[in-house]
Structure 1
Amino acid sequence: MSRVISHVVIGISGGIAAYKVCEVVSSLAKRGIEVRVILTEAASAFVTPLTFATLSRHPAYTDADFWQPTNGRPLHIELAEWADLILLAPVTANTLAKLAYGMADNLLLNTVIAADCPVLFAPAMNTTMWLQPTVQENWRKLLAFPRYGAIAPTAGILACDAVGTGRMAEPETILEYIESWLWTNGRQDLKGKTVLVNAGGTREFIDPVRFIGNPSTGKQGIAIAKAAIHRGAKLILVKAGSLEIQSDLQLQTISVDSAREMQEAMQIAMPIADIAIAAAAIGDVRTTWQSDRKLPKSELPLHWQMEYIPDIIANLAQQKQSAQILVGFAAQTGSESEIIAAALDKLQRKGLDAIAANAVNHAETGFGTDTNQAIFLHKDGKQQQTPLCSKLELAHRLFDFLAS
C-alpha cells in the first residue's frame, strides 16, 4: 500500500454497524489513501454524510448526487473508473441480494457494477437473517466471482441482543484486508494451497512459574498468516507462548509452549503444507531437568546444566518433499554484511528454500514493533531487500519473492 497513492471507494448500506466504518475512513485518510464514500438512503439514517465528508476530507455521495454529472460524465462511472478498490461495509441482506442478481437501483450498486476493480464485502446482520438459506446462497453466488472478496462476519453479542454470527468485522481487520487487497489487487494466488506458519516464542519451563524464553511477540508470524489468508490460502498456525489470535481469523490453530511441542506440531502438519514458513523464535537451549513444583529461591541452582534443543527447521528440511517450499527467518544483530552472511549460512546449512533475515537491534525492526525490514535470500542466489514497512506488507513482499 505504500508504493502509490491508492483510491478506495467505500459504500455503506443501512445498518447499525455503519458507525464502525467511521474509523476505517478516518484511518485510511490519515495514511494518505484517497477515499470516496457513498451512502444509501438507509445508511444516512445511521451516520450522516457530513460525518463521512469530514473524516474523508471529501464530500460524501448519496442518491441525491446520482445524476449530477462530474466533468460531464455520470458520477457512478467516474467513481467506478477512479477506484482501485471498493469496500462495501456493512453489507445488508437487501444489498447482498441485489448485487447477487445484478440489480442497480441506487448510486452505490451502479458504482459497483460499473467497476472492474476488486470489491470487498463486510456483511452485518442478525444471526437468523445471516443463516437464512437464501442469504447464504446469495453470499456464495457473489463470492464465485474472482474480483469479489469476503470479510466474513464474526460471532458475538449483536445490536439486537442476539448472540451469534453476524457482527461486522472490526475496523482493524477491515483495514488489514484493504492493505492486502491494495497490494495484491485482489489476487488470490494462494487459493488451493495450504500454508503452515509458526509464530511467537517458545518457553522452556524450569518449574511451573519460571521459564527460559525470548521477547518474540509473534507479530510477524501473525502478519504472514493474515497475508496468506487474504491471498486465499488455507492456513495452519502453530503458535507458541501467550500469543493471542484474533477470533475472526479463519485458520486452524495449534497452541504449544516448548520447542519439543513445537517440533511435534510442525512435523505432524508439514506433510500437508505446500509452503511452510518458520517465523517463530525457537529456543536454543533448555535445562536438563524441570521441577513439577515451584522451587523456593533458596533451592534455585546458580549453575544450570543445559542441553541444546534440536534444530526444528533443519529437521523439517529433511522431511520436506521436492514440491514443498520451506522458508526460515533469521533474527540477527550486526552490520548488513554480517546479517547476510549469517542468514546465508543458515540457508545452506539447514537446507532451506529461502530465508528472511532482519535486524532485531533497531528500534523499528526489533521484537514487538509494528514495522519491519528484511533481506530475502533464495537458495538459487537471488536476494531482495525490503524497505521499512508494516509487517503485513513485508509478509506480502515475502510471498511475492517466493512466487518470483
Structure 2
Amino acid sequence: MVLTGLRIGVMMTGGIAAYKITELVRQLIKKGAQVRVMMTESATQFISPLTMQVLSRSNVIVDTFDENEAEHVQHIHYADWCDLVVLAPATANIIGKLANGIADEIVSTTLLAVTCPKLIVPAMNSHMYDHPAVQRNIEVLIQDGNHMMEPDTGFLAEGYEGKGRLPEIEAIVIQIESMAASIVYPQVLQDQKVIITAGGTIERVDPVRYISNDSSGKMGFAMARFAAWLGAEVELITSKANFPTIPKVNAHLIESASEMYEKVLLFYEDADYVVMSAAVSDYRVANPADQKLKKKNQNSQKVVWELVENPDILASLGQKKDKQVLIGFAAETQDVMKYAHDKLERKNADWMVANDVSEAGIGFNSDQNKVTIIGRDGRIERLPVMDKLVLAGRIWSVVTNQEIDSE
C-alpha cells in the first residue's frame, strides 16, 4: 500500500552483509515498489549484479562511465528518478565519502546528486563502527538531514559479538515505509499526540494463571502504525509484546486494566487523540494469589473466585475530556449498532468504531475487519471487510475529515 508505485533506489557498497540486500529488494518489489539497484565495484565482489538485476527486474548500474543512453547522464538520471534512496550496506568508506563530499565511483557520485530522502543503513565491524572518525561522519550525515539506522548487536562475520550487524530486513522495510508515508500521505496528524490502547488486558489469578480475552491487539497496532505514518507521535499502551518497533510509536507494555488506566492518564492531558481499541477486562480477581494455587481436594469440582469491577477507562476519560478527540471501539456479538450508539453516549466519546466479533474471519485474531464508524454528530460510515491496516487509514480519514487513500 504505502510503497505501491514508489521508485526506490537501492545503493550497495562492499560489505559482507551485501547478500542480505537480495531479500530487501525482494520485499520491496513484493510490496509494490519499483526498484533500481546501483552497486560499487567492491559490492560486486560479494554478490553478482546479475542476481540483483533479476530480483529488481531492472538493469544494475556499476560503472560510472557506462553511458549507454545518450539522452541521459546516467547517475543524474538515476538520482532524479528516485523517490527514496536506501544505502545498504553502508560501509565506513561510503559514510566517510558522503560526509565529506567525495565522489570517486558511481555510488558516491550519485549520492551527491540525490535530492530525495535518503536512508543510510551502516554495517561493519564493531571496532570500525565505534571509531571516532566514523561516529563524526555519521553525525555529519544526520545533521545534513539523512535518515540513519543504528546497526544491530550480534554475532559478526569476524566470529565475535559486537555492534555492527545489518539490521533485520523487516526493520529496514518498516523504516522505509515510515519514510515513504511522509511522501505518500497527507501529514494530517503532524505534531499531534496520540494515545492508543491495544490487546486484551490480563487479570492475574495467580503468578501463572490469568483471565483475559481473545483480542490480539492487531487493530490497535494498525491504528498506531497509521497514525505515525500521518505524522503523529504515538503512545501505544498494550498487553501484547509481539509487534515490531515502529518509528514514532512508543510502546508501553502493561498487563491489567488498572495498569493500562494509570499509563493512559500519564499522557492524557497532552493528548490530541485517544483511541481505546483495547479489549479491557470488565472484572478482575479481588485477591490474586501470590503463589500458584494448588488443588486442595481432588474430588472437588468447584472453584469460586471473587471478582470486582475494573475501572471503566473510556467513561473516565470521557468525563475528563478537554481538547481530546476520544475514539472508542465496540466489539459486540449482537445488536451491534444499538450497543455502539449507547456506548458512544454513555461514555461521552466523539467516535465509536463498532464491529461484530461473532462474524467468522474478521475481528479478534484476524488480519481483516469490517466496521461501522459512528460520530457524535450523527455521521455513520459503514466500511466493508478489509485489511486492518487499510481500515486504520480509513478510520483516520473519517476522524480527521481528510482524504486519505490507504488502499
Q: What TM-score range do you get, normalising by the shorter chain?
A: 0.7 to 0.9
When normalised by structure 1's length, the TM-score is 0.81
Whether contact under 8 Å (2:181, 2:229) holds in the other structure is no
Instruction: Look up the match of 1:94.
Output: 93
Structure index of larger Rg: 2
User: Matched residues, percent identical?
Assistant: 37
Aligned counterparts, 1:300-339, within 5 A: 301=302, 306-322=307-323, 324-333=324-333
Aligned counterparts, 1:82-231, within 5 A: 82-144=81-143, 148-185=146-183, 194-227=193-226
Paired with 1:243 and 1:211, the residues of 2 have a C-alpha distance of 17
Paired with 1:191 and 1:44, the residues of 2 have a C-alpha distance of 41
Instruction: Look up the match of 1:346.
Output: 343
Whether contact under 8 Å (1:126, 1:162) holds in the other structure is no
What SS does the aligned partner of 1:114 have? coil
When normalised by structure 2's length, the TM-score is 0.80
Structure 1 169/272 Cα, relative in aligned 2: closer, same or farther at 3 Å?
farther
1:123-181 per-residue CA deviation (whole Å, 9 max, x = no partner) reads 222333333444334333333455x4333323333333443433222111222233333
- 1:262 to 2:236 alignment: no
Structure 1 252/6 Cα, relative in aligned 2: closer, same or farther at 3 Å?
closer
Paired with 2:180 and 2:72, the residues of 1 have a C-alpha distance of 26
Whether contact under 8 Å (1:180, 1:227) holds in the other structure is no
Partner amino acid for 2:177? Answer: E
Structure 1 120/402 Cα, relative in aligned 2: closer, same or farther at 3 Å?
farther
What SS does the aligned partner of 1:185 have? helix
Structure 1 72/122 Cα, relative in aligned 2: closer, same or farther at 3 Å?
same
Greater CA deviation, 293-302 or 75-84?
Answer: 293-302
Partner amino acid for 1:316? Answer: L
What SS does the aligned partner of 1:63 have? coil
Shift of 1:235: 4.6
Whether contact under 8 Å (2:175, 2:247) holds in the other structure is no
Structure 1 347/30 Cα, relative in aligned 2: closer, same or farther at 3 Å?
same
Whether contact under 8 Å (2:195, 2:273) holds in the other structure is yes
Structure 1 84/384 Cα, relative in aligned 2: closer, same or farther at 3 Å?
farther
1:166-210 per-residue CA deviation (whole Å, 9 max, x = no partner) reads 322211122223333333317777665554333222122233333
Paired with 1:76 and 1:205, the residues of 2 have a C-alpha distance of 61
Whether contact under 8 Å (2:234, 2:249) holds in the other structure is yes
Partner amino acid for 1:24? Answer: L
Whether contact under 8 Å (1:191, 1:232) holds in the other structure is yes
Instruction: Look up the match of 1:7.
Output: 7
Flag structure 1 segments of 5+ consecutive residues without an equivalent.
Answer: none
Partner amino acid for 2:175? Answer: Y
Paired with 2:383 and 2:19, the residues of 1 have a C-alpha distance of 36
Paired with 1:72 and 1:276, the residues of 2 have a C-alpha distance of 54
What SS does the aligned partner of 2:284 have? strand
Aligned counterparts, 1:21-100, within 5 A: 21-63=21-63, 66-70=65-69, 72-100=71-99
Partner amino acid for 2:59? Answer: P
What SS does the aligned partner of 1:17 have? helix
Shift of 1:356: 4.1
Whether contact under 8 Å (1:29, 1:57) holds in the other structure is no
Paired with 1:135 and 1:386, the residues of 2 have a C-alpha distance of 51
Partner amino acid for 2:73? Answer: P
Structure 1 250/94 Cα, relative in aligned 2: closer, same or farther at 3 Å?
farther
Whether contact under 8 Å (2:9, 2:35) holds in the other structure is yes
Partner amino acid for 2:215? Answer: S
| Alignment size in residue pairs | 397
Flag structure 2 segments of 5+ consecutive residues without an equivalent.
Answer: 403-407
